[in-house]
Structure 1
């Protein structure tokens, strides 16, 4: 099936036992034009756009995460954008539960479901299912995140090495979020995270009937788009967004605090660097992130994903 045949044949996503048939999935690096492509499809296919980007879920960071603006939101239904407070712990599992609730609500019934974003793990969970994970008591989660903040990722990786050598071998010493996740799962359940990861839940999207696209922009053109977009973000009020986020006094370990541009603009607001230097660093960080995204998509998404120049 192709997007063209979906339009011509009038096929729309329909939930069958909570499994969507005929969904369109659009993955790609930041600033590759994913949102615009999804909006064009939504207009032509009577579609509903569902966010598949782990940063665009947060409520405060609209500009810095390049969420669709008022005009885009008015042009087609958008779901799962900006619905999570930045102080909340959010995960791939939480996103998948939100997608399931969206399907159960009937919001996608007789409409073309279009998932778009840059978070590869979201797409993988959508078509392959996700390993079930135990509930983590808030006190356990808070304690490990506080230790991450106080001691750093390397110190907690050493703790993980003692408690779960297999997980420690798979996780980079600098990857604080994954280290904390492994430690809190172990404490909460008494079983290593690998035990849970070996199990899979049922996918929410039927992979065989889905149209799966990966946008692959020219790197030089993408770098220019990234630079221009960040300048627009600053001009439109990104500094005010960062001020609002900082006013919440969240731990630096929270995912929302790690959005590209937050640390850089916070340093400019604090007088540590100039706004020009903050922009230069944020642009460089965004280009590096886009490169990591493209590498992940190239190696982790299979041959059934169509590569599309962008």
Structure 2
């Protein structure tokens, strides 16, 4: 589509992941099922934490925020893809695309920052248990989340403004289900050098900093745990970190492979990896935390019992 005087008139074609109609039907069903599971699972985590006073602690405060971000993260990309498939439309307007890019960058980075804050929380709980209440005060927890939101929004705004300055010419189709920043850059007929450098430096710094905080936190945790006199004490300390480490591995395993290289080398494998941490990771997070955490499982049971009791009462 030829670019007109106003960039807002541009539309992009989202050809999806698969090329065949039968494959698209399978992917549509999988995306719909995973999105519903993502929303329901994370909402249950949020409700369980909010309804159980025993879970009103810094660790579960951060977990509730992570669940909220995961819902928003999936909602940025999946519903639009599902609607396009149901209506038989493969286009997305320029404004919708830039908006999608902004929130995609915001929520993906917010996930990383929350995971780093949760790692710091585990470090304080294991290495400084006697000072945990004093160090992880409610005001500090809220401040850490607020700072994370400020940084991620400013980072997303920078990349979106740099994207808006680009010119997009006749080639506007990409094999993807949402406006991923890297494939969009490949469609531009402008010089994307500044965008590439910014993505590699600022984007890399925004991604590496939380990952470094997580690594340092667990380095201190490991050195402290090895000082425990009994194997049972070591297992008890590490059991509180198992769920978090699993989520970190899934999240960063895909991200570091996709976004730590120039946009010109973006491949089909990168697209599949992007779909993995965009759709799959937010879905499995609540299961990881609920299946490996007795407190969360207990809160979920209490929540279910309350719902069953109230339904029987009204019936």
Common topology (TM > 0.5)? no
Give TM-score, length-normalised by structure 2. Answer: 0.28
More helix per residue? 2
More strand per residue? 1
Larger Rg: 2
Give TM-score, length-normalised by structure 1. Answer: 0.28
